[in-house]
Amino acid sequence: MNAIDKSAGLDVARIRADFPILDQKIRGKTLVFLDSAASAQKPRAVIDAMRIAMETQYANVHRGLHWMSERTTEAYEAARDAVAALMNAKDRAEIVFTRNSTEAINLLAHSYGRGVMKRGQAVLISGMEHHSNIVPWQMLRDSHGIELRVADITDQGELDMADFEAKLADGRVGLVAITHMSNVLGTVTPAERIVALAHAHGAKVMFDGSQAIVHRKIDVQALGCDFYCWTGHKLYGPTGIGVLWGRRELLERMPPFLGGGDMISSVTYEQSTWAAVPHKFEAGTPAILEGIGLKAAIDYVQAIGYDAMVAHEASLTEHALARLASVPGLTILGQAQERGGVIAFAMEKAHAHDVATLLDRQGIAVRAGHHCAEPLMRRYNLDSTARASFGVYTTHAEVDALAAGLLRVREFFA
């Protein structure tokens, strides 16, 4: 740990002590975990919250009249309050729990796309989407006659605002579904401008905040958007829980997604009536323990504070961009002005998978592949890249280790 990691207002050494997994050797080398954008590691607080719930009070929620069920319902519903506060939602009923971002987007494509949008309308996405924000809209297009439009990105990896506006111009776009931060380029999209343009052309806006929630303070009322989704496991929480926030009046107009227990008000063989939002969208026993874990993760993040997290990440990213620029033959994908701590790169004469395996030999974990963004890779004429991404526990020394590791890989292949 060096001095730089404290100057960003974050005591990284103390934070690292909260993450039991980090202190270990991989293949005999000190672990350097640079794959947090795929899924982040979990602090002790999250692990303990889930374990303690299982050891002391676990039961199903919203149904038992006994002590355990009541305690567990309280704990689970407290997660909804924590999420509402985290995103500054006006109303806790606007928080719908899903399995992950992918399910949140599918819910929206199903309930808003099939249930509210009309044939002949269009959904507008961008050229830097994760597959989870492409495929559900393709399925909607094919089953429901809703056009799918794609706004270009520039060579720098930013949204091409002229093309974005042009694709809204005919007023047929009913929904803009767009990333708030790219999981490949690190680009943070200009959310306020996107919302202003979309609303001016009569379109609603959903942000895929899977990455952004980790790197930016999100205030859905200030953003002015209509839907916002993210996934718990990237924000230091457990897998199996995600969030769809939507404006209450929109959620109320949408038909349910899945049918079953918990989402009904009353059932007869002739017909059923739906529970109020958000329960209308939460069929079946929910991810109870994961909700409890997510609340612990949110409390953890809030205690650190977004200002400190963002400053630390900005410092790491700047350091990494400078260090990686000194590795000969390395190309970094995207040079957005506004970016978060996700850096994808390609090395001349070395395939991304070889780079990743050779880094792994040195204890350094990065991701390699198309990062679930094949169309984006194609845009840059690449099949795959390697990607390093940072979390609250990442140190400047780890970034240095990455640069040194890449120099060795380069030498090895020379």
Ligand X SMILES: Cc1ncc(COP(=O)(O)O)c(C=O)c1O
> Residues in the site for another protein, rule: CB under 8 A?
27-29, 350-354, 357-358, 361-362, 368-370, 377, 383-384, 404, 407-409, 411-413
Which C-beta is closer to another protein: that of 27 or that of 66?
27
Which C-beta is closer to another protein: that of 93 or that of 404?
404
- Give min distance, CB of 351 to another protein, in A: 4
Q: What, of ligand X, another protein, none, does residue 36 touch, CB below 5 to 8 Å by kind? A: none
- Give min distance, CB of 382 to another protein, in A: 8
- Give min distance, CB of 157 to another protein, in A: 20
- Give min distance, CB of 403 to another protein, in A: 10
Residues that bind ligand X (CB under 6 A): 100-102, 130, 132-133, 179, 183, 208, 210-211, 231, 372
Report, as residue numbers or ranges, the catalytic residues. 372
Which C-beta is closer to another protein: that of 24 or that of 357?
357
Q: What, of ligand X, another protein, none, does residue 408 touch, CB below 5 to 8 Å by kind? A: another protein
224 class by beta-carbon count within 10 Å (0-12 exposed, 13-18 middle, 19+ buried): middle
Q: What, of another protein, ligand X, none, does residue 351 touch, CB below 5 to 8 Å by kind? A: another protein
Give the Cα separation of 137 and 125 in Å (integer).
Answer: 9
Give the Cα separation of 151 and 158 in Å (integer).
Answer: 11
Which C-beta is closer to another protein: that of 124 or that of 355?
355
Give the Cα separation of 17 and 32 in Å (integer).
Answer: 15
- Give min distance, CB of 412 to another protein, in A: 6
Which C-beta is closer to another protein: that of 128 or that of 409?
409
Strand pairing category for 122-126 and 173-179: parallel
Q: What, of another protein, ligand X, none, does residue 361 touch, CB below 5 to 8 Å by kind? A: another protein
Q: What, of ligand X, another protein, none, does residue 392 touch, CB below 5 to 8 Å by kind? A: none
Q: What, of another protein, ligand X, none, does residue 132 touch, CB below 5 to 8 Å by kind? A: ligand X
- Give min distance, CB of 366 to another protein, in A: 13
Which C-beta is closer to another protein: that of 113 or that of 405?
405
